[in-house]
Amino acid sequence: MRLVESVRYLARNPVWLLGLGLFIFFSVTTSHFLTAYNLSNVLFQCALVGLLATGLTPVIISGNIDLSVGAVVGLSSCLVIGMQEQIGLAGAIAVALGSGLCLGLLNGLAVERLGVSSFIITLAGMIGTRGLAFLYAGDTSLSAIDEQLYDLTMLHVGPVTLIPFIFLTAVLCFQWMLRRTVHGRNTYAIGGSRSASTNAGIPVSRHVVINFIICGLMAAICGVAMAANLGAATPSYGKDYELWAVIAVVLGGTRLRGGKGDLIGTFAAVLALAILRNGLNMLHVAPFYIPGIMGLALIAALVLDRQLNRASKTAE
């Protein structure tokens, strides 16, 4: 019985098989893929995009999208590095995370109050936020004044460092939130039918705004983590990360139209994409091929989303 259920689960979530296939392929074709150092690097890269995808999943389940997350990464990374000398490490982290919260709140309120597509609102937010990052830092790289921030990323929680631990914890917490709380159930309902949710008395705007706030916070955490790991920041940090995050969410089984998806699928897709990018680097694939591969992955994600929509209509 369990075997049958497992087969059905893998049929509904083929991204797990994709990840396993990529892991086996790169393990055989590259000599250093299975080293502890490289696997640790895969986990860290997985965590960076994963933090964005984790925050983005509830937004997409509710029938919206947030394209500004990559720009929030750039702004928050600049703030945490640039303000450390003036207000200390704790203050700089608080300001950076606060910027993500505020931008998420702004996106959510704009979507709900203006009645404009979240695609348009967050596209404008992406441009504006990236502009704020350049306005603050200029076209230069900001360097950390000491290694305090970097030392934070080296803290171990059990066998993993702090950032992957935060990512894994976020996946479990948000999965619980989506499946076990009123907010999570209402998020699915809103994505399934906004009008029906409104008629049922669900406070749609409140739940949508909460999801955007969470998304902004997770993007800011990603920015702080990236700046901490590199000991520097530029306004261009996070460029194209929003695309990788969207690809991961959709490949993980979340419908772009909303109403379906979960964090477990998103986690599997993030892991598969991290293995793919790392494996290509190990094979010395030229960096300019990566955008083309990203495009193919996006097409695959859109095809999968279309198949999910068809399957949903057939089930109905």
Q: What is the CATH number of the domain that holds 117?
A: 1.10.3470
* Residues 259, 165: Cα–Cα separation, whole Å: 28
Angle between helices 204-230 and 84-114 (to 10 degrees): 150
Q: What is the pLDDT of residue 12?
A: 66
Q: What is the pLDDT of residue 10?
A: 60
Q: Please check whether residue 16 lies inside any domain of the structure.
A: no
Lowest mean pLDDT among 54-58, 139-143, 179-183, 229-233: 139-143
Q: Please check whether residue 316 lies inside any domain of the structure.
A: no
Rg (CA), the chain: 19
- Is residue 313 predicted with pLDDT exceeding 60? no
C-beta separation of 142 from 84 below 8 A: no
- Is residue 301 predicted with pLDDT exceeding 80? no
- Is residue 94 predicted with pLDDT exceeding 90? yes
First to last CA, the chain: 26
From the list 263, 279, 278, 307, the residue with the least C-alpha distance to 61 is: 263
C-beta separation of 114 from 190 below 8 A: no
C-alpha distances (whole Å) from 128 to each of 68, 125, 132, 273 are 9, 5, 6, 28
Q: Please check whether residue 297 lies inside any domain of the structure.
A: yes
From the list 94, 56, 99, the residue with the least C-alpha distance to 76 is: 99
Q: Please check whether residue 9 lies inside any domain of the structure.
A: no
Q: How many domains does the chain have?
A: 1
Q: Please check whether residue 14 lies inside any domain of the structure.
A: no
Q: Please check whether residue 27 lies inside any domain of the structure.
A: no
Q: Please check whether residue 238 lies inside any domain of the structure.
A: yes
Q: What is the pLDDT of residue 51?
A: 97
Question: Tell me, what DSSP letter sits at residue 63?
Answer: T
Q: What percent of the chain has pLDDT over 70?
A: 91
Q: What is the pLDDT of residue 124?
A: 96
Tokens matching residue 309 = 């929509």
Using a cut of 0.75, tell me whether the model's pTM lies above it.
yes
Q: Please check whether residue 248 lies inside any domain of the structure.
A: yes
Q: CA angle, corner 206, sides to 131 and 203, nearest 5?
A: 150
Number of helical H runs and strand E runs in the chain? 14, 4
Residue ranges making up the domain that contains 52: 36-310
The residue among 203 and 307 whose pLDDT is bigger is 203
Lowest mean pLDDT among 1-5, 93-97, 183-187, 285-289: 1-5
